Every structure is written in structure tokens, then in C-alpha cells.
Amino acid sequence: MSLPSRVFITEVAPRDGLQNEKQPVSTDVKVELCERLLAAGVRQLEATSFVSPKWVPQMADAADVMARLPRPAGVTVSVLTPNMKGFEAALACGADEVVIFAAASEAFSMRNINCSIAESIERFRPVAQAAKAHRLRLRAAVSVAFGCPYQGEVPVASVVDVSARLRDLGCDEIGIADTIGVGTAAHVARVFDAVTRAVPLEQLSGHFHDTYGQAVANVVASLQSGVFRFDSSIAGLGGCPYAKGATGNVATEDVVYLMHGLGIETGLDLDRLVDTGQWISAQLGRRSQSRAGNALAARRQREIETT
């Protein structure tokens, strides 16, 4: 099958990446991370989330982060909004896109947003209407689409059902998310094959966590299914506080290395991404989880040492 000539990557590190950090990350570091990502060519930036600070204390400075972000033309800045309170905050700070997030399992929906799937859809309805009224882009995520930490297996039919309900709310994009990183390539093909019967391919994106080392393979499987929108996170940061044991997102550096190797345009500057991945990892006091990022940084270091 033919692969796309260009993919669109949403950088989620400032939100999905940092929300899972146990130690508080300063607003300065969050803002500098966003600045560096924008300088590396990021055009879709998931900057923060307007969720309850009691549930996710790391995101409590969302309004400050938004106030201090550079906002170059052509960049879509998105934020998570679980309810109207979140939406109003997002609107006040000039977000371009709001993200609602539903789960494909009842158990995860309760743990993550404290309501059933059906209740969550009703809670998102006014958010969707307000987004349309204010001409904001509306994106959705379908969590635990490949497996749930509480329920185990998640039927493909549940993923299709939730995706269709989000489509009916008028979402511009629906991300199919492997929150706990358990999916494998054939599973990805099955899920996209089924979901594309309900939602046009152009509106779908893939959001993969790398817990079982399958994330890059799952990106390739998605490409083969025709998907050309992906979420990724610099240095492979990330995880959901309500999905214990799940590790980071697929690393942006790894996805970009893959895409450029396949001759697929990303609009991103890999060298600058590598720098940013190394920088944020140093800020957080740990090694980057990006295999390509670490390999490229090590190669650079060798080149410096031999010249």
C-alpha cells in the first residue's frame, strides 16, 4: 500500500508528558519546553490541561503556562477540557483547540474522569457546542482503545461505539489511544479497519504509549492503515496518572526519525528535537526514553570528540 507523503504530528509532552511527573515541574521549565518545541517546527502543540488540580496537581498552572506561551502564527495550541469549567478557562486563555477525552471502558472512565462513558458524553456535549460556537477546533481522545488497566481486554466494538458518539458531537479529530501501550500491529490494523467504518480516515489520529515497546511498530501499522495524524512526546515522556504502570508516549524523535527514513515529511527539525529531548530529560534528572534521540546525541558527541 502507498504511504502518505506527509504526516501531522501533535506534540503532547507539555501535557501528557509532564502530567505524570511526580515532582512539581516549574512553570518556567514548562514554558521553555514549549518554546523549544515551537523552535523545532512543532505546529500542533498540546500545551496543558484544564482539569481539576485536585486530580492532577501538576497541571494546576495551566493558565500561567498559556499566558506565557509564545503564539506564532500557524500554530494550533490545544488544551484538555473535561467539562465546561475547563472549557471556559481554555477560552479565556485563547486556546485554538480543546480536547475532550472519553474512554472505551467503563472502568477507566470512572477512574479517570469520575463518571460513566454515557455521562462523559453528556458532559462533553456543551463543551462541543461551545467549541463550535467560538470556532475552536474540537479534538477527542478515545482512551484505553487497546486494553484497560482495570477491565483488561477492550472489544473493538466499544472503540467504534465511543468514536461514533464523539463523531456525533462534531469532533474535527478523534485520536485512538493506547493509554497503557499494550497493542500490537495486527490489533492496530483491526481497530483502524473497524473505526474507519464510522469515522473518516482524515479525522483519525493515533496516540501510542510505549509500555511494551510496540509504539513505533504501531505507528507503522497505522500508516499502513492510511492514518497520517499522530501524537508523540519529546523524549518519550508521559503516562496517565490513572493508568498505573503505563509508561511514556512514543518519542517524537523516534517518530520523526522513522518518517524521514520513509521519505515522509513532518515539517520538524530532528536536530532541534534531539536537543530539546536531551534538555528536558536533564531538567527532569533522567535519561531520555527516545532511542533515536539518545543515539543521535551520542553520535554528535563522538563527532565532537574526534574532530
- Which residues here bind Mg ion, judged by CB under 5 A? 16
In the bound state with ligand HMG, the residue whose beta carbon lies nearer, of 171 and 296, is: 171
Site membership for ligand HMG, residue 146 (CB under 6 A): no
| Region of 52-60, 187-195, 269-277, 279-287 interacting with ligand HMG (CB under 6 A) | 52-60
Site membership for ligand HMG, residue 52 (CB under 6 A): yes
Q: In the complex, what is the shortest distance from the CB of residue 12 to Mg ion, in angstroms, rounded to a whole number?
A: 7
Site membership for ligand HMG, residue 141 (CB under 6 A): yes
Q: What is the spatial distance between Cα 123 and Cα 84, in angstroms, rounded to a whole number?
A: 8
Phi, psi angles (nearest 5°) of residue 139: -120, 155
> What CA–CA distances, in Å, run from 108 to 18, 262, 306?
20, 36, 52
In the bound state with ligand HMG, the residue whose beta carbon lies nearer, of 38 and 141, is: 141
Q: In the complex, what is the shortest distance from the CB of residue 291 to ligand HMG, in angstroms, rounded to a whole number?
A: 20
The option from Mg ion, ligand HMG, none interacting with 158 (CB < 5 to 8 A, set by class) reads: none
Which listed residue (40, 113, 138, 159) binds ligand HMG by CB under 6 A?
A: 113
Burial code of 259-282, b = ≥16 C-beta within 10 A, e = fewer?
Answer: beeeebebebebeebbbbbbbbbe
In the bound state with Mg ion, the residue whose beta carbon lies nearer, of 61 and 210, is: 210
Q: Does the annotation mark 115 as catalytic? A: no
Residues 211-270 close enough to bind ligand HMG by CB under 6 A: 240, 242
Residue among 34, 148, 171, 240 flagged as catalytic: 240
Q: x/- contact string, 77-106, with ligand HMG (CB under 6 A)? A: ---x-xx-xx--------------x-----
Q: Which residue has the cell 553520535?
A: 299
Q: In the complex, what is the shortest distance from the CB of residue 299 to Mg ion, in angstroms, rounded to a whole number?
A: 30
Which active-site residues does the annotation give?
A: 240
Binding site for ligand HMG (CB under 6 A): 16, 19, 49-52, 54-56, 80, 82-83, 85-86, 101, 112-114, 141, 143, 177, 179, 207, 209, 240, 242
